Every structure is written in C-alpha cells, then in structure tokens.
Structure 1
Amino acid sequence: MASHDERLTFPDEPRADLDRALSDLVDRAQDVLATQGRLRALLRANLAVVEHLELPVVLERIIEAAVELVGSEYGALGVIAPGGGLEQFIHVGIPPEQARIIGHLPEGHGLLGALIDDPRPIRLEHLHDDPRSSGFPAGHPAMESFLGVPIRVRDEVYGNLYLSNQSSGAFSREDEQLVESLAASAGFAIDNARLFAETRRRQAWSAASAEITAAMLSINQSDSLSTIVNRVLVLAESDLVCMILPGPTEGTLVVEVARGQGETELTGRIFPAAGSLAASVLEGKQPRLVGDGGADAQVFAIENALGPMMAVPLISAGRAEGVLLVARVAGGLRFTPADLEMTADFAGQASLAVQLARARASEQRMLLLEDRGRIARDLHDHVIQQLFGTGLELQSVAGSIESPMERERILQAVTNLDAAVTQIRTVIFALSPRQDTRDSVRHRILDLANDLAPGLQKSPTVSFTGPVDLVVTGTLADDVVAVAREALANAAKHANAGQTGVTLDIVDGTIRLVISDNGGGITDTSRRSGLANLEERATARGGSFTVSTGPEGTSVDWSVPIDGSDDGTDAA
C-alpha cells in the first residue's frame, strides 16, 4: 500500500494540452463576445439608419453610424452627381471652423474619384502610399488609414462611404464587411426616404394645381402668370423662376414675370433667343433638364451665378406660348427627372386653367359688349328721338309766345336739350363696338378721360361737335390728345376740382379744344411753365392758346385752323 507521503501528480504533457484548450476556449469566447458586440453595434446602426424618412437626416445618420461602428475618427458620405463627381458631401469629425478654413468640399478626384469610377471597396493601411491619392488641401487634418465602400440603391450606385483613421491603426477585413452590411441597409433607407420625399412633393404639386385652377376659375384672374410663378418658386425649392414669352421683335424673348433672386432687374428683360434654353423648349415643345445653365446662366444671373435649370413649355391649343424657367444657384442640388415631370404636369394644368380663364373673360367681354350695344341702340332709337321731338315741339311753342322772357326761357331749354343730345351721342359712341375706329381721336380722348378719372373727384365729361374723326387725324390728333392729357393731368394734380370737362368742336373752319375745371385756379408757377409746350403746339399750327383761371376754376382753350392743321406736323 502506498505511503501517505506520496502525492498525486498530473503529467506535464496532458496538463499543457489542457491549458492550451482552455486558452483557445477563452479566446474563442472572447471572439464570440466581440462578434456579438459588433453584431449588436451593426443592429443599432441599422436601426439608427432606418428609423427616419427625411433624406437629409437619413444621410447624416448613415455616416454617423458607420463612424461609430468601426471606430474611425473621420467619416463622410459622398452623393454621386448624374454626370459624375460629387453632388453632396456630408462629413463628420472635422469641426465646422476647420471645414471653413479648408474651403470648398471635395469634387470627386483622387481616391474618391477612383471609388466612383470603380464601385468596389477600397481598404488601405496607409492612405498616402496609394498612387491614386491626390493629397489634401491646406488646413485639412492628417489622415492615415482609409476605407471606402459604395452604397447601392436598386443596383445603381447612389454614393460612397469614406472612413479614415481607425482607432486601432488600420481597418480590418471584418470592418470592411460590417460597413458593407451597413451600406446595404443604407441603400434601402435612402430609397425609402427618396420615395417618401417624392410622394410628399407630388402631393404638394397636386394641391397647388388644384389651388391654381380654383383661383383661375373662381374670379377674374388678371395676374395668372405671376400666380403660377410664385407657386413654382416654393414647390420646386428653387432660387429663381421666370415666365419667358416671345419678345417684341423677331428673334428675341422677354422675361414677363420673375420671382426670386434679382426679380426686379430681370422682369421685362429682353434677350436674344438664339442658343438659349428657352428658345429650344419653345421650338421643341418638350421640357428640358440641364445640370449647368451655360449661356442662360449669364443672362439670368444677378446676385449669384446660376447652375441647375429646368425649362417647361406652356402649351395652349397645341402651341407653345411661353416657357417656365426654374433655376438654382451654382452648386445647388440638381433637379431630378421626377422634378421635371412634376413641374411639367403642373405647367400643363396651369396652362389649361389659364385658357379656361381667358375663355371665360372673353365670354364676359362679349356679353358686356352686347349689353353696351343694346344700351347704345336704345339711346339712339328712343331717347335721342324723344329729346329731338321735344325740342322741335318746344321751338314751335316758343314761336307762338308773345312774352320775350318766356320765349327766351323755352329757347334756352331747347339749347339745353341740344347739349344733352350731344352728350348722349358721345356716350353712344363710347358704348358702341370700336372695330376699326379704335385709333380715332374721339376714342383716344375717351380712353384718356377714363385713364385719368381715378385722380379726379368725378369722371370728366366729354363732348364732341362736328366731324372730328374725319378732320383731326395724324399728328394733329397727337397734338390734340397731348394737350388734353396735359390739361387734365394738371387738374388732377393741382386743381382739387369737383368737376372737369373736355370739349372738342369743329366750327367755322376751326378745331377748338377746351378743358375746364371748377377748382381753385392756377397758383403754381411750375404748372404755368408746363403749359408753355401746349402754346407752342398751337402757334406751330397757326392757332391760339389761352388760359383763364381764377377762384372759380380754370379753362384751357386751344384752337387751330383746319387749313393750317398740316403745317406743323413736326411740332413738338
């Protein structure tokens, strides 16, 4: 039997095997724990990425989650532009003040461009050792390790994740796999965010189309183009919107309405049509999308240079009547095909609403003209005839009255009836359809009285005697209208008159224009000097010009002989 002093011993070789097995088990357990930790981090990153629907927020969360996932110091997400290069560059890790010192954001050259050209992951231990590295601008922080992974949305490369300065010194294969997994989830999140944003934009455009249509059809919309432009400026999130129409001369275009940057300077601007985006859209009747405004950017740039543009035709009865030009400043986000589609749909519905509003306005004008014609016929066929018959009867009665005073009173009543008939004939002329007589001196003076009426207490009374439209033509008509405008404008500005009147007569070979008011008379010397031009117009034609003024009112009497009316065709 063995002695109690003998001790139990374990062979050295089996013990070493057990130690190694236990060490391997601990290492594997640590790897499992680390893997579980990274998987949990990946799950947290995925959750952070997919829990938002606003695209700008989603892009920021993606890069923040990637930086946290692999422990990098710096990170960025570059959105690829349709024509190559980078359209957006969202970065984390670099303080804002340092980013301002660096200046403009990367444009997609060097390693960033290599990932754009060949969308496969790039992992480098020393960034500067790679021949594709193009260095950094002044003020840029030092970067050593690098990991770049593409983000795909529906089999199309949307952008790239760029990570630098891993905390342990270099990115591992596991880091690359984790970021690739995150990029896959990010692609779905970006796609959902873009669909959500597009849906909201379509809803906004549809609501605006309904509002525009209702506005056009509910009231007499006289400023329909401005209404359309205002809505597009907000809906398209643009910096400038212009409504461009054919110009006053062949080969030119004019900015009819402008909203946004430089709208005051651009409104009414006329520019050559040749080579412009608007001209090509007018000719082709198809909307166009450009990433760089080119020559058009020089035409429309006022405060800042313009970049992305889209142009949409306004079609009416199969004819392009104008172009809606929508632009953002240089460096702004490019318009997408979806933006162009929504703008074109809106422009089409707005064009239809404008056509309907015009048709309704034309119908209302026709009804108004018919009503005015009926009133004019009634005045001519009934009222004037009754007044004329009454005047004849009063003249007959006056001849049988012996009292001179009573006879004079009746004859004065006849004179008043004649004056009333003259005024009614003027009203009939104003109510009648103008047709080819729109430029006659009679219509020009009536239009002038209507234009200046808002500045007077009451609309001026206008009367004509004799064949004024046959005699007062050409430059003589221009002089007559100019004299009437000056005298009525003076009355509106200075006289504070309750009544004003314009009389144009042709009597005994003389053309006589009288403008009178019951204001306070002329006291302003500058107003008297303003009448000197009217006297020159009269003397140049061998006529006369007199002004009678006093506390009871002012009367301007301008007359020229018919025989000398053509002598002063060049009068000022």
Structure 2
Amino acid sequence: MAAPEPEHPRRTRYDRDPAAPGGGSRGSGPADRVPQLLDAMRWVGTGLERHATLDRICQTAAQLTGARYAAIGVVDADGTGLADFVTYGVPAETEREIGRRPDGRTGLLGALLHHPEPLRLADLTTDPRAAGLPPGHPPMRSFLGVPIRVHGEVFGNLYLTEKRGGARFDEGDLHTVQVLAAGAGTAIGNARLYEAARQRERWIDGSVAVTTALLSGGDADEALSVVAEQVRALAGASAGIVLLPAAEGGGLEAVAVSCDGPHSLLGAIADERSPAVAAVLAGEPVITTDAAGDPRTAGTPVDRFGPALLLPLRSGDRVLGALAVPRVPGARPFTGTERTLATRFASQAAVALRVAEAQRDRERLAVLEDRDRIARDLHDLVVQRLFTAGMTLENAQRSSAVPAVQDGVGRAVDELDTTIQEIRTAVFALQQGPAEAPAGLRTRVLREIAMAAVTLGFTPAHRFTGPVDSAVSEPTGKNLVAALREALSNAYRHARAHRVEVVVDASAVLPGGRPGVRLTVADDGVGIPPGGRRSGLRNLARRAESLGGSCHCGPGLGEDGGGTSVVWEAPLRTA
C-alpha cells in the first residue's frame, strides 16, 4: 500500500494537542473522538468532489486511530479491482519511487475486495495472504481494513497501517473507522451518482451533435467524421471508426476515422469472413478486452488495439454499418455503463444516418426529376427552334445571289447543326441513370461534369491524359471523383465562374518519383478571399493526405491569373 504525506503531516484543525490525554499521534479515547467524527461527517455532505472528501476521511482516520498511514481503495464499476486509490502519510517522493499504485486484485487488498469483512492484523507481513511490499515502500506491520458499504453495496475499503507506538489497532479503532467508512461510502455513492448523470448528459449531447451534423444537409463525409470524433471523445477511446458496407468485395470499409496522427485506418476494409464482421452485420455487438489477441476481430481495423467495442449501426431491422471504439493495448476494459451508453449512441446515430439517407434520396430524386424536365425542354423546345432557325437560314441562302451572304449563312447553318448535336449529347447525359453508366473512372468523371453542367449553366471543358481507366486503383479513383464533385460544387457555389476546365492526368509524377494521378479543376471566378478558404477545401486535402497525396490551390483561368485552380493528386495505387 502506498500513500502521500510526510511522516509528520502539517497540523490542521482536526489535529489534537499531542500533550493532551489520549490525543495526538497515539489516538484518542472513544469519547474524545465524537466531535471530530461529527465534524468529518458534516464535511462529507458539503460537496460532490470525491477526492477532497476521501482525502479528509483518510486524514481524520489516521489522526483518530494513531495510524501513520491511511488509504481508501475505490472499487471499479465491475467490482473486479480498484478504480482509484486515495492515500495519506507517505511522502510524495517515496510514492513516485514505488511507482504504480495497487490494483486490488491480489494480496490483502484483493482479499478484502473479494471478502469484504473487517480485518485486523498485528503484523501483516506474517499473513499468508500478503503479497509483500514493492521496493522503496515504507515498512508496515499493524493493519486495519474495513469495507465501505452503502445499502449493502461495497464501494471500496478503508485501510490503516502502522499504529504509532507499535501497538495493535483495538476495538475502539475499529468502531471509529467503521463510522468513517460509512461517510466514505456516502461520498463515493454521491460522486458516482453525480458522475453517472454527467456521463449520460455528455452522451446525450454527443448524440444531438451527431444528429445535427447528419441532418444538416452538408457534406456526408464531414458528418460521419463528427460521429467518429464524438464517440472517441465520449468513450475515452484511442480511435473512433465508422464502417459502412464496402462498394466492392463485401465487408465493411472505414469511411470516417478519428485518431491521433495520420488517418492510416481510413479506407481500411474489415474482411467479410471475420467473425466480428459477421456478428455486427447480424446486429450483434462484439466486445473484447484484447482485440489484438481475439480471433474474432482478426482482419478488422481494430485488430492492433486492446479493449474494443464493435457496435452495429442498426435502425429497425436494417444494419447500416458499424461503429468501432478501440483503446490502446493494456488500457482498462469498457465498463458495463460505458457499453450501454455506447450502444445507445450507436442506435441513435443509425437512426439519424437512415433519416439523412432518406433525405439525400429525396434530394437526388428531385435532381433527377429536374434533369428530366431540362432534357425534355431541350429536346422539345430548344432543338425544335434551332431546327426552324436552320431551315429559315437555308431558305435565305438559296434566295440570295450574293456569294458572301451565301457563305456566311452556310457557316451559321453548320454552327447550328453542331449546336444541335451538342444539345442531343447533353440530353442523353441528363437522361442516363447512374445504374446505366459504366464503372470506368473516365466515365464517372464525365458523369460528374455532366451533372455539374446543370447547375453551372455550361459544360466544363475536360481533358484526359494517360491510362486513366487502367492505371488508377479503385480507392484512389473513388476519392478523385469525390474531390472533383467538391471542386465543381465550389466553382458553382462560391466562384461565380463562367469557364471551368477539368484535367485528369494519370501520368503524373508525385514528389519522391512516385507515379500518381493529378486532378486539376480551374475556373475564372472571383478567387478565394484573402485569408479565407472555400467550403470543402479542407475535405479535399484530407482525402488526398489519407492516400499519401496532397491538395493545393493556385491561379485560375481569368485574366492575370484570376480565379482559382484546385490541384488534387494522389498515388495511382495505395498500400
């Protein structure tokens, strides 16, 4: 047992005069102890700060019994060890030399934890249950341990050792310590209730933040990042990972990660053959105290961690994905309360995710309906008018005898024919559904350009260089398309551009000589305000960095470099 305080602690208003009968370091008589006990009990109810209360109880117990050292061990939520250890009597430098505080699973502390009955020993070193003292620990012989109970529930133990004068703790000491243990139980119970209420409040606030982010109509990836960040912070975990069904090959893909350092887990695939993935997709949570050594979690993004939760994002009878919450190896396991709160959080996030998905479906349907209307108007109205204008010009050409007029009208008719062909191509692109489009990267880029043309009012120019379809891997291509969508959205929402050019170069060479793909989206708009950043540029950089690439902005297509060019690049294939 370790404790913090010099051998001769400072005098307080709880100390008695050592010269007084029965006072000072040798303890007090039963009657003399009553005022101090009453004072200590009154102090217990003055606040919810547990450590201050337990410090005072340790100090009072040591002074009233004449003990040199005192400690209170607080049982963890699962009742298997000590979650906290408050001490009195040992200098701070000695405590630092001893190192790690006891966990209460072995020795006399473990015996008291598993058999919570008062224990008095004249010499603890002779008891077979004693596990010995660590190097640097001050000598201890006489021992008194009393369980701390509230309504029959054991919250911890109050320990006293080394009664001054070499005496053994007597019955009076035992009764005194039992009264103080009752006060400690009240303090611990109140603090636990307060902390439980605060913990539930934090999880509720986190659920509200997630729901707001998912339903705000903003960037979906950013909203999922909020889910990962919130669950990591609330659970005190090393990482928060949102996994959704992978686009190809089955399994679950890490689409949002919150952790220290680079997001190396972003894009990781949880193998569909993993027992943990099968359980989560069936709607069952997976809880482990050591993910690195648990065969169920092999092949998942948490298989390098310690304690971990894999919770299904389940809404009704549908599992949308999973939420992974791991801690570093050797960290404390998740308590029952934490597991319950995290499961409720995952359920709330799943409901919000499903509502957001339905909201996006409605928005996509509205866009498709608008595209159909635009396609019909172009075909039924614009093209027909252009045909009529062309026929009128041809009649005028035949009626004129002036060669210059005939040539000029002929060129105008040719331009109208070209315009009609371009409009027909645009109509086809507008009417083409997502399921009808081939899966090649070039086609997906063209689809994004055609969709952007509806909002921009013109079709961006585009150019491809290198083997775009064959050289670029699926993860890189998927992120490139998302980056293109964001860049074109910025050009429409912020740049007020009249001209946009898109270049996809699959023969680019990245820093370090790595082969890569470079996406350039340039416009002639208003540019980025000084000191400002367009919405979404941070997302573009994050996507590139997660693949080992980069993203930066430069001059655009306007006069003297006006406007903005976004250059996004990443390796052709990721590790």
TM-score, structure 2 as length reference = 0.68
Whole-Å separation in 2 of the counterparts to 1:400 and 1:89: 105
Deviation of residue 110 (structure 1)?
Answer: 1.8
Higher mean C-alpha displacement, 425-434 vs 194-203? 425-434
Q: Read off the aligned partner of 1:187 and give its amino acid letter.
A: G
Residue of structure 1 in register with 2:188 after alignment? 190
Preserved contact between residue 71 and residue 85 of structure 2 (Cα < 8 Å): yes
Deviation of residue 481 (structure 1)?
Answer: 12
Whole-Å separation in 2 of the counterparts to 1:414 and 1:139: 100
Counterpart selection for 2:135 from 133, 138, 148: 138
Deviation of residue 56 (structure 1)?
Answer: 4.5
Deviation of residue 352 (structure 1)?
Answer: 1.2
Secondary structure of the residue that 2:395 maps to in structure 1? helix
Does 1:213 find its partner at 2:235?
no
Instruction: Describe how 1:414-493 pairs up with structure 2 within 5 A.
Output: 414-434=413-433, 436-439=435-438, 443-444=443-444, 446-447=446-447, 449=449, 460-461=460-461, 478=469
Preserved contact between residue 271 and residue 277 of structure 2 (Cα < 8 Å): no
Whole-Å separation in 1 of the counterparts to 2:207 and 2:253: 25
Secondary structure of the residue that 2:432 maps to in structure 1? coil
Q: Read off the aligned partner of 2:87 and give its amino acid letter.
A: H
Counterpart selection for 1:125 from 97, 122, 134: 122
Residue of structure 1 in register with 2:101 after alignment? 105
Task: Mark the CA change 1:479 to 1:318 in structure 2 (over 3 Å): closer, same or farther.
Answer: closer
Instruction: Describe how 1:115-264 pairs up with structure 2 within 5 A.
Output: 115-169=112-166, 170-223=168-221, 224-247=223-246, 252-261=251-260, 264=263
Task: Mark the CA change 1:68 to 1:261 in structure 2 (over 3 Å): closer, same or farther.
Answer: farther
Q: What's the CA shift string for 1:26-85, capped at 9, x where partnerless?
A: x99xxxx83333112222332333322144544444434433442322222223343634
Q: Read off the aligned partner of 2:40 and give its amino acid letter.
A: A
**Greater C-alpha Rg:** 1
Secondary structure of the residue that 1:133 maps to in structure 2? coil
Secondary structure of the residue that 1:372 maps to in structure 2? helix
Secondary structure of the residue that 1:162 maps to in structure 2? strand
Whole-Å separation in 2 of the counterparts to 1:315 and 1:104: 41
Task: Mark the CA change 1:226 to 1:109 in structure 2 (over 3 Å): closer, same or farther.
Answer: same
Q: Read off the aligned partner of 1:446 and give its amino acid letter.
A: L
Residue of structure 1 in register with 2:349 after alignment? 350
Counterpart selection for 1:90 from 80, 86, 89: 86
Secondary structure of the residue that 2:102 maps to in structure 1? coil
Does 1:75 find its partner at 2:70?
yes
Deviation of residue 215 (structure 1)?
Answer: 3.2
Residue of structure 2 in register with 1:312 after alignment? 311
Whole-Å separation in 2 of the counterparts to 1:373 and 1:403: 44
Preserved contact between residue 45 and residue 69 of structure 1 (Cα < 8 Å): no
Aligned length: 448
Preserved contact between residue 445 and residue 481 of structure 1 (Cα < 8 Å): no
Deviation of residue 345 (structure 1)?
Answer: 2.1
Residue of structure 2 in register with 1:506 after alignment? none
Secondary structure of the residue that 2:85 maps to in structure 1? strand
Preserved contact between residue 315 and residue 354 of structure 2 (Cα < 8 Å): yes
Higher mean C-alpha displacement, 117-126 vs 434-443? 434-443
Whole-Å separation in 2 of the counterparts to 1:165 and 1:480: 76
Does 1:389 find its partner at 2:388?
yes
Q: What's the CA shift string for 1:182-241, capped at 9, x where partnerless?
A: 112222221221111111222222233233323332333513321112122222233322
Unaligned runs of 5+ in 1: 1-26, 464-474, 503-514, 516-529, 531-572
Residue of structure 2 in register with 1:371 after alignment? 370
Preserved contact between residue 245 and residue 256 of structure 1 (Cα < 8 Å): yes
Whole-Å separation in 2 of the counterparts to 1:445 and 1:238: 38
Q: What's the CA shift string for 1:371-414, capped at 9, x where partnerless?
A: 11111111101111111121122112211211101111111111
Higher mean C-alpha displacement, 35-44 vs 410-419? 35-44
Task: Mark the CA change 1:145 to 1:451 in structure 2 (over 3 Å): closer, same or farther.
Answer: farther
Task: Mark the CA change 1:79 to 1:477 in structure 2 (over 3 Å): closer, same or farther.
Answer: closer
Higher mean C-alpha displacement, 376-385 vs 424-433? 424-433
Task: Mark the CA change 1:294 to 1:112 in structure 2 (over 3 Å): closer, same or farther.
Answer: farther
Whole-Å separation in 1 of the counterparts to 2:56 and 2:102: 20
Q: What's the CA shift string for 1:82-102, capped at 9, x where partnerless?
A: 363434333333333322322
Deviation of residue 275 (structure 1)?
Answer: 6.1
Whole-Å separation in 1 of the counterparts to 2:219 and 2:448: 25
Deviation of residue 448 (structure 1)?
Answer: 6.8
Whole-Å separation in 1 of the counterparts to 2:253 and 2:62: 52
Q: What's the CA shift string for 1:416-472, capped at 9, x where partnerless?
A: 11122122222212322325531299955623757999xxxx963479xxxxxxxxx
Secondary structure of the residue that 2:29 maps to in structure 1? helix
Secondary structure of the residue that 1:321 maps to in structure 2? strand
Residue of structure 2 in register with 1:265 after alignment? 264
Higher mean C-alpha displacement, 134-143 vs 204-213? 204-213
Q: Read off the aligned partner of 1:101 and give its amino acid letter.
A: E
Task: Mark the CA change 1:436 to 1:325 in structure 2 (over 3 Å): closer, same or farther.
Answer: closer
TM-score, structure 1 as length reference = 0.68
Unaligned runs of 5+ in 2: 1-20, 23-27, 478-483, 488-496, 504-514, 516-575
Task: Mark the CA change 1:377 to 1:250 in structure 2 (over 3 Å): closer, same or farther.
Answer: closer
Whole-Å separation in 2 of the counterparts to 1:115 and 1:121: 8
Residue of structure 1 in register with 2:359 after alignment? 360
Secondary structure of the residue that 1:138 maps to in structure 2? coil
Secondary structure of the residue that 1:220 maps to in structure 2? coil
Whole-Å separation in 2 of the counterparts to 1:440 and 1:301: 31
Whole-Å separation in 2 of the counterparts to 1:219 and 1:300: 29
Instruction: Describe how 1:26-45 pairs up with structure 2 within 5 A.
Output: 34-45=29-40
Task: Mark the CA change 1:186 to 1:440 in structure 2 (over 3 Å): closer, same or farther.
Answer: closer
Secondary structure of the residue that 1:266 maps to in structure 2? coil
Whole-Å separation in 1 of the counterparts to 2:402 and 2:396: 12
Preserved contact between residue 30 and residue 172 of structure 2 (Cα < 8 Å): no
Secondary structure of the residue that 2:397 maps to in structure 1? helix
Q: Read off the aligned partner of 2:100 and give its amino acid letter.
A: H
Whole-Å separation in 1 of the counterparts to 2:74 and 2:274: 31
Task: Mark the CA change 1:57 to 1:236 in structure 2 (over 3 Å): closer, same or farther.
Answer: farther
Deviation of residue 178 (structure 1)?
Answer: 1.0
Deviation of residue 369 (structure 1)?
Answer: 0.8
Whole-Å separation in 2 of the counterparts to 1:190 and 1:391: 89
Higher mean C-alpha displacement, 347-356 vs 83-92? 83-92
Deviation of residue 358 (structure 1)?
Answer: 1.1
Higher mean C-alpha displacement, 335-344 vs 270-279? 270-279
Higher mean C-alpha displacement, 353-362 vs 53-62? 53-62
Deviation of residue 329 (structure 1)?
Answer: 3.7
